[in-house]
């Protein structure tokens, strides 16, 4: 099938949230190891006041959407609620309760309860209803999450802090913007027990004495138990899940009649690293690269649209996707013939023929080190004539305005694809480069003897300090 079976789009949104809470201030009330939660990088979450129900949040979001769109609730033909948490009552239809709250009478309602995923896959369900019932014109689609803190610990389900809130979307048949094109999904039934709530259902209506969601095992522990705490099995699942992501994307693209390369945005709602509390991953979606790795300030997430050369490089060397922290630099090295800029005095007066940038280019497989001498101008060209041992790299000679301009012009005239900067300061701060550039740094580690201090002491440059008594 090519193209959507029914045409509809999102006419507007509405929102409702619980009260703002600071993660750092409140994590200790939810878990015994608050630093673990703080390291995830979340600063705030939303907690609805006691007495505020999921239906109330959904109704507030719906009213907000009606106001933004200018819609009379009486014009809604179908009310859909996607519920990701415990219902307010058993044997009770939350979608009907929302319709009653909004005074929408004698209309169709639909309740979706497949966890948080139903807020996405539910659009496909709506498409089916519109295809089967041409009389349906306007749909209110509301996704709501209201954590039942008796049943679940909002900071111990997975590596996310769960918030209370709702979003409502007004869907209209034939709406020309924000159009739905396709939905693709499948279910791995072997994983149906992940993150389940053990108490409150017919098998175990009440928890045992002393049980509390504050001390109950986390969802992550259930995942680890599923894989028998075996890192190899967990890594295999991560790779499998990445492949499945591509599978459903390609399936959706085929249904919609578009190519993977046509995608401008990719929103990864759940990833294997978050589920497993592992922080590093790379996912390549042909023209998009998604990279995630931990930093001291929180998780780093890079979403980049790739050039044709970069896509070809990843097809040829897919193994670099296993190194999230280095993938961008490795990718640049593979496709680039690079110019290396080193500290000038180190190369000239210090008689060194290379520096950190040259070593980095060679280590990461640069196709070629561009010889900058044919492109050099002014004092840069004079430096090459005076120090003939300097070749295959560009010395930064001084930081005066004239020398910086000559350095910039030399780089601009070269045919390099990437500039590696090995100078003590980051030249990008003072020179406007017209080519992609990366800074290379190094750390000195003394191995064996003599050490630098030994050499300086032998030459009388440093002397031993007298012992303190």
Q: Which residues of 149-169 are buried (b: 16+ CB within 10 A; e: fewer)?
A: eeebbbbbbbbbbbbbbbbbb
User: For the residues 307-315, what does the mean pLDDT come to?
Assistant: 66
What domains sit in the chain, N to C, each tagged with a CATH number?
Answer: 8-222 (3.40.47.10), 231-320 (no CATH), 336-439 (no CATH)
**From 132-146, 214-228, 318-332, 365-379, the region with the lowest mean pLDDT:** 318-332
Is the pLDDT at 315 greater than 80? The verdict is: no
Q: Give the highest mean pLDDT range of 102-106, 152-156, 183-187, 217-221.
A: 102-106
DSSP string of 166-183, one letter each residue? EEEEEEEET-SSSB----
Q: 222: which DSSP letter?
A: H
Give strand ranges (E) for 74-150: 78-83, 108-112, 138-145
Q: Which residues of 357-381 are buried (b: 16+ CB within 10 A; e: fewer)?
A: bbebbeebebeebbebbebbeebbb
pTM (2 decimals)?
0.61
User: For the residues 227-251, what does the mean pLDDT come to?
Assistant: 79
Residue 432 banded pLDDT, cuts 50, 70, 90: confident
Is the pLDDT at 53 greater than 90? The verdict is: yes
At 465 the pLDDT is 47
């Amino acid at each position: 099938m090519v193209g959507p079976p029914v045409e509809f789009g999102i006419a507007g949104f509405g929102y409702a949230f619980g009260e703002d809470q600071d993660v750092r201030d409140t994590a200790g009330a939810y878990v015994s190891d608050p630093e673990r939660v703080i390291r995830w990088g979340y600063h705030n979450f939303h907690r609805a006041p006691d007495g505020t129900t999921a239906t109330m949040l959904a109704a507030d979001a719906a009213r907000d959407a009606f106001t933004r769109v200018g819609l009379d609730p009486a014009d809604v033909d179908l009310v859909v609620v996607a519920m990701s948490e415990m219902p307010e009552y058993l044997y009770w239809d939350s979608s009907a309760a929302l319709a009653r709250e909004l005074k929408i009478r004698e209309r169709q309602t639909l309740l979706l309860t497949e966890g948080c995923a139903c807020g996405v896959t539910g659009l496909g369900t709506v498409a089916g209803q519109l295809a089967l019932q041409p009389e349906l014109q306007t749909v209110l689609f509301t996704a709501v999450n209201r954590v039942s803190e008796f049943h679940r610990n909002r900071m111990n389900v997975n590596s996310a802090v769960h918030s209370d809130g709702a979003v409502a979307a007004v869907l209209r048949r034939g709406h020309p913007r924000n159009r739905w094109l396709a939905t693709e999904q499948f279910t791995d039934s072997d994983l149906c027990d992940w993150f389940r709530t053990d108490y409150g259902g017919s098998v175990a209506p009440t928890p045992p004495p002393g049980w509390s969601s504050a001390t109950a095992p986390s969802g992550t522990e259930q995942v680890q138990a599923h894989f028998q705490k075996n890192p190899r099995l967990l890594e295999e699942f991560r790779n499998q899940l990445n492949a499945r992501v591509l599978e459903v994307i390609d399936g959706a693209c085929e249904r919609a009649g578009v190519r993977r390369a046509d995608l401008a945005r990719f929103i990864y709602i759940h990833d294997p690293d978050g589920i497993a509390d592992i922080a590093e991953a790379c996912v390549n979606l042909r023209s998009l690269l998604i990279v995630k790795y931990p930093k001291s300030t929180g998780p780093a997430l890079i979403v980049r649209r790739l050039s044709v050369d970069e896509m070809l490089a990843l097809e040829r060397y897919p193994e670099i996707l296993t190194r999230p922290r280095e993938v961008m630099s490795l990718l640049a090295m593979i496709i680039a013939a690079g110019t290396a800029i080193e500290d000038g005095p180190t190369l000239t007066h210090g008689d060194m023929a290379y520096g950190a940038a040259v070593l980095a280019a060679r280590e990461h497989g640069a196709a070629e080190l561009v010889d900058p001498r044919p492109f050099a101008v002014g004092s840069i060209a004079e430096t090459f004539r005076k120090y003939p041992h300097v070749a295959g790299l560009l010395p930064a000679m001084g930081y005066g305005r004239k020398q910086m301009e000559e350095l910039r012009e030399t780089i601009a005239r070269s045919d390099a694809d990437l500039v590696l900067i090995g100078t003590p300061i980051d030249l990008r701060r003072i020179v406007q480069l017209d080519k992609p550039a990366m800074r290379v740094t190094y750390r000195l580690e003394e191995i064996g003897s003599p050490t630098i201090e030994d050499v300086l002491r032998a030459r009388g440059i440093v002397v031993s300090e007298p012992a303190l008594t």
